[in-house]
């Protein structure tokens, strides 16, 4: 039975005799020596991760202007920061996007620019008070000009993360990157063998107060992160560190097409090896960390899982989905994760970084709840029109024009002889046919690729489909492709107008 204390290990760090290895190296050491011998040999195991962590940001204190202002709204390079606290404190969040540049520039970029030593433009507004009379302020500040710049990330370093794929017939753009149609690829996040929390899944040494590597500087774990869901193996960390000491080697702004901005955060957590249980936990390999591949094509909180998968399989470059070999991509950089684990190892070996015991351990066996929604979720069948006027594909364009005129429906679903959906025809199609002097059959002028919806889909999802395809109405079809209703952008506007 091995038993060491933090005090003993820090003594060894001080006198230079500490034995520190990375979590990757530890896999082999425990494999060769067994957990007990490894626990005697090794004093500290270092972990590392470098990936997109949206729930990140920085608390800034700008100092007081003359005359002073109590900021009510503040923008840094046109990106809004939250200042609903004291006069000149603000939180710049990674995913807030620019008022002028949109998704090309966001809070993450402001943070990276500040670390690079660049100046940012500050614009603040207030309604003015007796103690803070100023109403508008414009200035230019660099990191050196601020009193504090404290990175405070509410949710980082997920223990493991679901991998993503896409069952639909079009490419979708997500925070997991571009997901190609028909299971065209799989993307994943997390460092697997080097993941901090996967190397201490029972939180024996990681908790409130643990000293860590954050963005190239020393930082601390504040405690459990938001949405910490340790029960299912999805623990998270809230962390803090001094932005002024960080480096763009380990903090980088990112843009995910169609999603927005995020921050790549580099973090390393040291795990002091106090006994063989801890040594055994740090021996976890990529093969020992299992996650799920979820279908991001289903726009729901409960995305269906395609299968379980280990990080070893994900890292091999291909995974099997329904008998198909699907290429994988990591969104986290394993190379950088390794550099971080080695950098932290170096710090400890050189006596520049000491390990700590948490003052409070992270909660175990808790799970994150879904949102309680007090307003019912509207589905298509609640608001679709069920009296639908259709037309046969063999009808004449003249008939179609007459029906549209008589019924004032702008969209006519076109049916095959077996009543299944063949296409759609609109007043615009008829106008076009007339302008081309083409008075043939409906079949010749209809749009064949019809955007449709199902009756049990959520209205919010369907509204986005209308928007993306730039159409104003969709036939609602059943599984036999029979038209059972129509849903229009007017129906959706009325639904929301009624609510507000």
Among 210, 262, 426, 453, binds other proteins (CB under 8 A): 262
CA distance 121 to 101: 14
Task: Pick between residue 160 and residue 336 the one whose CB is nearest to other proteins.
Answer: 336
- CA nearest 341: which of 54, 25, 112, 31? 25
The tokens describing 196, both together, are 């901090």
Roughly what angle, to the nearest 10 degrees, separates helices 489-499 and 459-469?
130
Which residues in the 5-64 window bind other proteins by CB under 8 A?
50-52
Task: Compute the least distance from the CB of residue 149 to other proteins, in Å.
Answer: 22
Q: For residue 202, is the peptide bond before it cis, meaning its omega torsion is within 30 degrees of 0?
A: no
Nearest approach in angstroms of CB 471 to other proteins is 12
Of 177 and 215, the one with the shorter C-beta distance to other proteins is 177
Nearer to other proteins, 189 or 205 (CB): 189
Q: Is 54 helix (H, G, I), strand (E, B) or coil?
A: coil
* Closer residue to other proteins (CB): 114 or 391: 114
Token output for 58: 């920085």
Sign, Cα dihedral of 202, 206, 208, 214: negative
Angle at which helices 427-435 and 397-407 pack, to 10 degrees? Answer: 140
Binding mask 147-186 for other proteins (x = CB under 8 A): --------------------------x---xx-x---xxx
* Sites for other proteins among residues 81-140 (CB under 8 A): none
Q: Does 255 bind other proteins (CB under 8 A)?
A: yes
At 500, list the tokens: 């507000």
Q: Are 155 and 224 in contact (CB under 8 A)?
A: no
Give the nearest distance from C-beta 185 to other proteins in angstroms: 4
Task: In angstroms, give the least distance from the CB of 264 to other proteins.
Answer: 6
> Which of the residues 179 through 238 are near other proteins (CB under 8 A)?
180, 184-187
Q: Do 190 and 160 contact (CB within 8 A), yes or no?
A: yes
Q: Which of 256, 296, 353, 409 binds other proteins (CB under 8 A)?
A: 256
Q: Is 54 a catalytic residue?
A: no
Which of the stretches 27-35, 332-340, 364-372, 491-499 binds other proteins when contact is defined by CB under 8 A?
332-340
Query: Binding string to other proteins for residues 310 to 329, with x set by CB under 8 A, is what?
Result: -------x---------xxx
| Binding residues with other proteins: total (CB under 8 A) | 30
> Two tokens at 365?
């066996």
- Of 79 and 191, CB closest to other proteins: 191
- Does residue 264 belong to the site contacting other proteins (CB under 8 A)? yes
User: Could you tell me the two tokens for 242?
Assistant: 């001094």
User: Cα separation of 411 and 450, whole Å?
Assistant: 11
Tell me the residue ranges of DSSP E strands in 348-435.
360-361, 391-392, 411-415, 421-426
Q: Which of 83, 332, 426, 488 binds other proteins (CB under 8 A)?
A: 332
Cα gap 444→442, rounded to integer Å: 5
Binding other proteins by CB under 8 A: which of 252, 311, 425, 486?
A: 252
How far is 280 from 34, CA to CA, in rounded Å? 8
Tokens of 408: 């004032």
Tell whether residue 471 is a contact of other proteins (CB under 8 A): no
What is the DSSP pairing of strand 391-392 with strand 73-76? Answer: unpaired
Q: Can you tell me which of 205, 330, 390, 488 binds other proteins, judged by CB under 8 A?
A: 330
Q: Which residue is it, tokens 């004449």?
A: 396
Torsion angle defined by CA atoms of residues 203, 208, 212 and 217, in that order, rounded to the nearest 10 degrees: 160
Given the complex with other proteins, which of 227 and 255 has the nearer CB atom?
A: 255
Q: Are 306 and 295 in contact, with CB atoms under 8 Å apart? A: yes
Stretch of 7-15, 250-258, 398-406, 414-422 lying at the interface with other proteins (CB under 8 A): 250-258
Rounded Cα distance, 187 and 177, in Å: 7
Least spacing, CB of residue 173 vs other proteins, in Å: 7
Query: To the nearest whole angstrom, how small is the minimum distance from the Cβ of residue 104 to other proteins?
Result: 9
Do residues 235 and 221 lie in contact, with contact meaning Cβ atoms separated by under 8 Å? no
Our CB check for other proteins shows the closer of 184 and 288 to be 184
Closer to other proteins by CB, 83 or 337: give it: 337
Least spacing, CB of residue 335 vs other proteins, in Å: 4
Residues 135 and 322: their CA atoms lie apart, in Å, by 62
Nearer to other proteins, 251 or 492 (CB): 251
Interacting span for other proteins (CB under 8 A) from 247-255, 409-417, 439-447, 454-462: 247-255
Among 14, 116, 335, 448, binds other proteins (CB under 8 A): 335
Instruction: Please report whether residue 291 would count as binding other proteins according to CB under 8 A.
Output: no
- Active-site pick, 17, 32, 66, 131: 131
Placement of tokens 């036999």 in the chain: 480
Active site residues: 131
User: Which residues contact other proteins (rule: CB under 8 A)?
Assistant: 50-52, 173, 177-178, 180, 184-187, 252, 254-257, 262, 264, 317, 327-336, 338
């Amino acid at each position: 039975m091995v038993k060491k204390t933090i005090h003993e290990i820090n003594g060894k760090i001080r006198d230079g005799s500490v034995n520190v290895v990375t979590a990757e190296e530890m896999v082999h050491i425990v494999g060769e020596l067994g957990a007990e011998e490894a626990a005697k040999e090794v004093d500290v195991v270092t972990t590392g991760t470098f990936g997109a962590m949206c729930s990140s940001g920085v608390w800034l204190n700008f100092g007081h202007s003359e005359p002073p202002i109590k900021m009510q709204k503040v923008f840094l390079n046109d990106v809004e920061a939250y200042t609903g606290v004291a006069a000149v404190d603000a939180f710049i969040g990674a995913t807030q996007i620019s008022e002028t540049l949109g998704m090309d520039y966001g809070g993450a970029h402001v943070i990276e620019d500040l670390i690079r030593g660049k100046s940012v433009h500050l614009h603040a507004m207030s309604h003015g008070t007796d103690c803070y009379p100023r109403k508008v302020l414009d200035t230019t500040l660099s990191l050196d000009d601020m009193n504090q710049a404290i990175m405070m990330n509410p949710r980082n370093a997920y223990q493991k993360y679901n991998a993503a794929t896409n069952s639909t017939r079009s490419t979708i753009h997500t925070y997991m990157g571009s997901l190609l149609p028909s299971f065209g690829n799989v993307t994943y996040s997390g460092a697997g063998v080097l993941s901090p929390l996967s190397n201490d899944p029972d939180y024996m040494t990681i908790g409130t107060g643990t000293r860590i590597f954050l963005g190239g500087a020393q930082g601390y774990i504040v405690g459990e992160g938001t949405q910490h869901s340790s029960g299912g193996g999805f623990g998270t960390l809230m962390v803090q560190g001094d932005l002024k000491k960080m480096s763009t080697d380990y903090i980088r702004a990112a843009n995910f097409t169609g999603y927005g901005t995020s921050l790549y955060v580099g973090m390393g957590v040291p795990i002091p090896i106090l006994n063989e249980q801890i040594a055994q936990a740090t021996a976890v390999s990529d093969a020992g960390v299992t996650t799920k591949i979820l279908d991001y094509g289903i726009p729901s909180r409960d995305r269906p899982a395609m299968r379980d998968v280990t990080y070893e399989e994900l890292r091999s470059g291909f995974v099997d989905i329904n008998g198909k070999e699907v290429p994988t991509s990591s969104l986290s950089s394993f190379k950088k994760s390794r550099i971080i684990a080695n950098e932290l190892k170096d710090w400890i070996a050189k006596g520049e970084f000491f390990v700590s015991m948490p003052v409070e351990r992270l909660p175990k066996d808790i799970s994150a709840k879904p949102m309680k929604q007090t307003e019912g979720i509207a589905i298509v069948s609640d608001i679709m029109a069920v009296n639908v006027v259709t037309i046969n594909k063999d009808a004449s364009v003249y008939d179609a024009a007459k029906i549209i005129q008589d019924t004032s429906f702008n969209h006519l679903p076109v049916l095959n002889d077996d009543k299944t959906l063949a296409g759609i025809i609109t007043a615009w199609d008829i106008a076009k046919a007339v302008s081309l002097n083409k008075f043939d059959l409906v079949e010749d002028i209809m749009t064949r690729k019809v955007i449709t919806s199902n009756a049990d889909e959520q209205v919010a999802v369907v509204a986005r489909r209308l928007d993306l395809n730039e159409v104003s109405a969709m036939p609602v079809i059943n599984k036999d492709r029979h038209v059972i209703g129509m849903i229009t952008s007017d129906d959706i506007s009325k639904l929301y107008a009624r609510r507000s």
